[in-house]
Each structure stands twice: as structure tokens, then as C-alpha cells.
Amino acid sequence: MKKIFTLLSFLALWIAANAQTDSVDMEYRRETGPFDSVFFMEARDYVFMKQVRTRSLFKVSLLGSLQEDGNFEPGSPFSLPFLSFEQKISPAFSVNTGFHFYGILEGGDGASFQVANIGLSVEPRAYLGMRRQIEAGERADNLSGNYLSLQLGYSHYQPAASRGLPHRNGYYSFLNFGMQRRLLKRGFIDIRAGLGASYNEEIDIAFNPETERLQILREDKWQPAFQLQAALGLAFGRGEPEEGRLCNALLCFREAGQMFRIDLIRLARRAGPGRYLGNLAVAYERKLGPSSFSLGLETEVELSAYDYTQFQGHELLWQVAFEPRYYYNLRRRIAQGRSASNLSANYVTLRVSAGRSSFRQEQAVPERLETGNYNQFLAGPLWGIQRRIFRHGFFGYQLGFVFGREWDPAGPYSSTLVEVHSRLQVGLAF
């Protein structure tokens, strides 16, 4: 009987629908699409694990400007991972403790690795608006949010034995504003800017005119300091990401034949006691039709300023780079339903750059002023990864080698350069 009633109901609906021959009334309903604001709120919750309760987190920073503002060897020491552990003590407050160390590889016949800098930091954090959001049911009790913190740290610098310099210590304190986010199950990103002060036992080598020999000078002083740090790495904590698709958040399915990028991760940072760096990189990239190839052009400006006991100075570098890229896994990602024809994939490229640097250095004893200009040309193969983040963000990483020359256009100076190119990029994309 029930089946007969159902059949008669469908028959009545069909007759009613076909009886109206003069006009047809139609109703269109639009479901929430993959680029609507509600969808993006859900995508962000999924990517940043906003609804997953996590009260403790062990973090390993792998990429980024990870230097703490204590004493470490200026120049190019390579850094090992920065380790930190963060524990919630209430819904709005946590304590983040950190440990870092840097090493120098001594060359020569008996090459050896030596720890050059080791340090500890303690950072109480207050997460803004988190208690209210937890009570309102808008988020879980976790460690993904914006925060204010007071960072206190100590570092000990131990120079290489071959340099004959004494050990020295450093202390620093910063009031930071930061943004930390979990990235799925095993990732995190932490960006913070801070103002504060640092105490450094600075060591300089200066010429003594009385003895006509070099001597070591030590100066202890407090000085104002700032930091802009970004760390990207692995995170280990409780919880699993919610069900969802990562591609929806990363705009995998949006067609994009061009991209204008502004790298923000290196805008300002401190590269050691008395040395500051600022860098701005702007790039434009365009795909070659529906292919996996693109052409990119980048211009970069970097200002380096230093103020030591015996000399002060600055250097301005301007550089233009050309990058033809081949996104080698783009077609596979499209075939697997993980991407559209765009600029979010892994790639290989031959980076070619040309630049010019101008420097000015003043030395106190003996009084000396040096100025000059250098031209630079570099080229080399790189591997990279690039992904869009929501509507107007991107991140990328490049690794490879570049070779070239640096020379003085007005003098005899000329030098061959061989450099490791390793760069993390996080910024705006349009």
C-alpha cells in the first residue's frame, strides 16, 4: 500500500509539472561556493587546527630568521634547529621556553665543528581574545592565536679556537607582538616583532698606534634593540586536524596565470650585536600559456648597517634577478585532482642575478674613511616550492648553489663567489 501511495504521489507531481505550458516559474538556489567567506572560515579552522584542543606543543624551527638577540658570531655561521616547548597555564596564558645553538665549521687539514653560540630564553605569553572565544564556543583551548609576550634570554658566545678571542655573554629582553598558528598535524609558523634592550660584552680588534700592534678591546653596554622573527617548522602536540581539504585553503583549484609577490619575512632583523639588516623583495611571475613553464623577474633592495666600538658603516645592495621556472609536478597534481593550472607547485629554475653594492665605513683609530662600489653577477640552479595561502598570501622556499664574480668597477679588486642559496619567503600575493 505504501509503495502504491508513493507511486501515485510521483505521478501527480509529474502531471502538475507538465500541465503548465504557458509559463514556468523557476527558483535558483546558490550553495556556498569554495571561495565564499563562510567556506574560508572553515578552511582556516581546518588548516590552523582552530577547533583542536592542544595545551602543550614541542616545536622545532627549521626555516626562517631564527636568531635570538644575544651574542653570536657575525658573518655566516650555519644554524642548527631552534627548539622550544610551550605549555598552557590557563586558557589565555602560556609559557614558551627555548633553546638554541649555532655552529661554525673550521676548515683546514683537520676540519672540525665547534659550537659557537648557545642560549636559553623564557617567554610568558598572553593570547589575545582566546578566553572569550573559548567561552563562546568559537575555538578550542589551544596555542594558535595572536599574543603579547615578554621574552627574556641569555646567550654565550664561544669563538673558534683559531681566532684567539675570549668568550663573552649576552642578555636581552623584548616585549613582543606575535602570531602563532598550527599548520595541520605536524607544522607551525610563528611570526613576532619586538622592542627591547640587549646587554652585550662586545669584543673588537683595533690598532694601537703606540705599540703599532692590534689589540683586543672589550666593551660592556646595554643598548636599545628590536627584532622581527619568523619561524616555520615541525610541531608535536595532541589532536588531529578536522576533516577537510587542504587544497581548498591553498587555492589549488583556482586558475592563475600570473602572480605579483611581496616578501615580508626579512623586512627588518638584527644580525648580531650592533648590526641590523633590512630587505625588501618584490617579484612578478607569469605562466607561459597552459604549460608548466613561467618567467619571473624580481628586484631586491637590502640595507646593512653596523655600529661597533672602533668602526661604523653601512652597505646598500640592489639586485635584479631573472628566473625561468619549470613546475615539474604541476601536471601530475592536476591529473590527481590536487591543482588547477596555476603557480602553486614544486619547480626547478636557473636563477640569474646582477647587482651593485655601495658601502661606507668609518674607523676611529686610526682615523680612516672607506667608500666604494662593487658589481656582482651570480647564476646557479635552484629547487623550490611555492604555494598560495588563502586569497592574498603565499609561501615559498628555494635551495641550491649560485656561482659568479664580484668586482670593483674602478679598481683592481675581483673575486670569485660560490654561495649556498637558501631562502624562505612568506608574504603577500596578488
Overall fold of domain 33-244? Porin (2.40.160)
How far apart, in whole angstroms, are the C-alpha atoms of residue 98 and residue 190?
13
Tell me, what DSSP letter sits at residue 167?
P
Tell me, what DSSP letter sits at residue 165?
P
Q: Where is average pLDDT lowest: 84-88, 176-180, 223-227?
A: 223-227
Neighbouring C-beta atoms of residue 227, cutoff 10 Å: 21
Tell me, what DSSP letter sits at residue 184?
T
pTM passes above 0.75: no
Q: Which of 368, 358, 274 lies closest to 315 in space, CA to CA?
A: 358
Total residue length of the chain: 430
With the C-alpha atoms ordered 289, 422, 301, 317, is the resulting torsion angle positive or negative?
negative
In this prediction, residue 111 has a pLDDT band, given cuts at 50, 70 and 90, of: low
Tell me, what DSSP letter sits at residue 342?
S
pLDDT given at position 261: 95
Overall fold of domain 253-430? Lipocalin (2.40.128)
How far apart, in whole angstroms, are the C-alpha atoms of residue 309 and residue 146?
38
Whether residue 354 contacts residue 376, with contact meaning beta carbons closer than 8 Å, is answered with yes
Q: Which of 160, 194, 188 lies closest to 67 in space, CA to CA?
A: 194
Q: Which residue has the higher pLDDT, 208 or 30?
A: 208
Q: Which bin fits 164, alpha (ψ -120 to 50), beta or left (φ > 0)? A: left
In the block, cell 538556489 appears at 29
pLDDT given at position 279: 87
Tell me, what DSSP letter sits at residue 35?
T
- Beta pairing, strands 112-127 & 145-157: antiparallel
CA atoms within 13 A of residue 163's CA, in its CB half-sphere: 18
Q: Where is average pLDDT lowest: 16-25, 100-109, 152-161, 415-424?
A: 16-25
Q: Which of 428, 423, 367, 426 lies closest to 395 in space, CA to CA?
A: 426
Neighbouring C-beta atoms of residue 108, cutoff 10 Å: 7
Q: Which residue has the higher pLDDT, 221 or 74?
A: 221
pLDDT given at position 78: 37
Residues 6 or more apart from 380 whose CB is under 8 A from it?
350, 351, 400, 401, 402, 403, 404, 421
Classify 38 as helix, strand or coil.
helix
In this prediction, residue 275 has a pLDDT band, given cuts at 50, 70 and 90, of: confident
How far apart, in whole angstroms, are the C-alpha atoms of residue 205 and residue 6?
96
Count helices and strands (H / E) in the chain. 5, 18
pLDDT per residue as tens digits for the range 278-326: 889 999 999 998 889 999 999 999 988 877 767 788 889 999 999 999 9
How far apart, in whole angstroms, are the C-alpha atoms of residue 54 and residue 141?
6
pLDDT given at position 208: 61
- Cell triple for residue 373? 662600489
Q: Do domains 33-244 and 253-430 have the same CATH topology?
A: no
Residues 6 or more apart from 83 whose CB is under 8 A from it?
58, 59, 60, 61, 98, 99, 100
Q: Which residue has the higher pLDDT, 24 or 151?
A: 151
**Mean predicted confidence (pLDDT) in 169-194:** 88
**Mean predicted confidence (pLDDT) in 425-430:** 88
Query: What are the structural domain ranges in the chain?
Result: 33-244, 253-430
> How wide is the angle at C-alpha 231 spanned by C-alphas 116 and 105, nearest 5°?
25
Whether residue 240 contacts residue 197, with contact meaning beta carbons closer than 8 Å, is answered with no
- The identity of residue 248, as a single letter, is N
pLDDT given at position 318: 93
pLDDT per residue as tens digits for the range 343-396: 888 999 999 999 999 988 887 767 778 888 899 999 999 999 998 877 788 888
Q: What rounded mean pLDDT belongs to the chain?
A: 76
- Cell triple for residue 125? 605569553
Residue 161 has pLDDT above 60, yes or no: no
Residue 16 has pLDDT above 60, yes or no: no
pLDDT given at position 332: 82
How far apart, in whole angstroms, are the C-alpha atoms of residue 375 and residue 390?
39
